């Protein structure tokens, strides 16, 4: 198994950028699908709408984005476990500091 030390810090930066891109695509496709899930009155969509090409394309894009994100995260969180933990600790410390003021 490859470790983060063998890959290098620049690889973590690249991997983090890739994770951000995949997360953004997942959210974007999810928002499109969510917009199609409810009609103007907020009522759930009918089966006729779900059978349409727009719904099918949005659903396929969403599922594809989700699968890509899941596949990436399977290795990303293992290889960069220490770096991700350090980032979380920094965010937590910054949040706690801002709450104390």
Alpha-carbon distance of 28 to 55, in angstroms, equals: 15
The residue extents of the domains of the chain are 18-100
Q: Looking at the DSSP assignment, which residues form a beta bridge with residue 29?
A: none
Residue with tokens 């989700």: 66
* Digit-coded pLDDT (tens) for 51-100: 889 989 999 999 999 999 999 999 999 999 999 999 999 999 888 887 77
Does the pTM surpass 0.85? The reply is: no
């Amino acid at each position: 198994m490859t470790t983060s030390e063998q890959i290098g810090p620049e690889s973590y930066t690249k991997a983090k950028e890739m994770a951000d891109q995949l997360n953004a695509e997942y959210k974007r496709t999810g928002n499109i699908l969510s917009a199609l899930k409810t009609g103007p009155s907020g009522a759930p969509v009918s089966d006729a709408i779900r059978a349409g090409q727009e719904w099918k394309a949005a659903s396929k894009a969403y599922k594809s984005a989700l699968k890509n994100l899941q596949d990436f995260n399977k290795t990303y969180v293992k290889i960069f476990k220490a770096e991700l933990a350090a980032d979380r600790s920094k965010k937590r410390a910054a949040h706690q500091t801002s709450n104390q003021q």
